[in-house]
Structure 1
Amino acid sequence: MSDGFPGYTPVHGDTVQLTADTLVVTITGKITSRGVLRDGAGFAELVLPDGDPQQRRDLERATWLHYRLYGGGALLYSSGHLQVRDVRRDADGALVVAGSP
């Protein structure tokens, strides 16, 4: 478990507890946490199933987030307090939320 940058190797889980501004939600499904380097800056990316349009809209309006990723009930990764930098869909239609310290 980490409380810093997630690293460049993706971590796959099945449940995420996500807090963003006033949104507090638990999401299940195929979830990935990974670190990416873009324009010399490190970002934590969380890839979620995009099953609820309202959650997507809430995340697009959010200014900060924190998440805890679980796999089989075990905590795999806990992010720090992140500023939301990007919310988008990837080529497969999954929701991608990127944040940085």
Structure 2
Amino acid sequence: MTEAGKNLWRLLRRKQFAGFRFRRQAPIGPYVVDFFCPAAKLIIELDGGQHADRIEHDQRRTDYLTRAGYRVLRVWNNELNENEQGVLTIIGQALGLDETHHAQTH
């Protein structure tokens, strides 16, 4: 796991994020996703520089997961490193939390 992945996992594990349970490196169909919240059917993919060369592959993967009923949120490593609170706000919104509820959980 990358440093950014370790940092995000530190924030999501053990139901720390508003009580939502996340799994990491979860298999879904033919893919293994970075982070997965089963209750919300939300997948968080943490992308580094190598993904700039894999846009087509990533799009096929996202299309498959979306067709299977999941929501996919892609976050760049540098975005997490530079604006952790902003990324957490986006994740909270994807989970249907308002900013007040999200702020109280951290």
Fold shared by both chains (TM-score > 0.5): no
Instruction: Looking at secondary structure, tell me which structure has more helix per residue.
Output: 2
- Point out the structure with max Rg over C-alpha: 2
Richer in strand (by share): 1
Instruction: Between the two structures, name the one with larger relative contact order (CA 8 Å, sep ≥ 6).
Output: 1
Q: Normalized against structure 1, the TM-score is what? A: 0.30
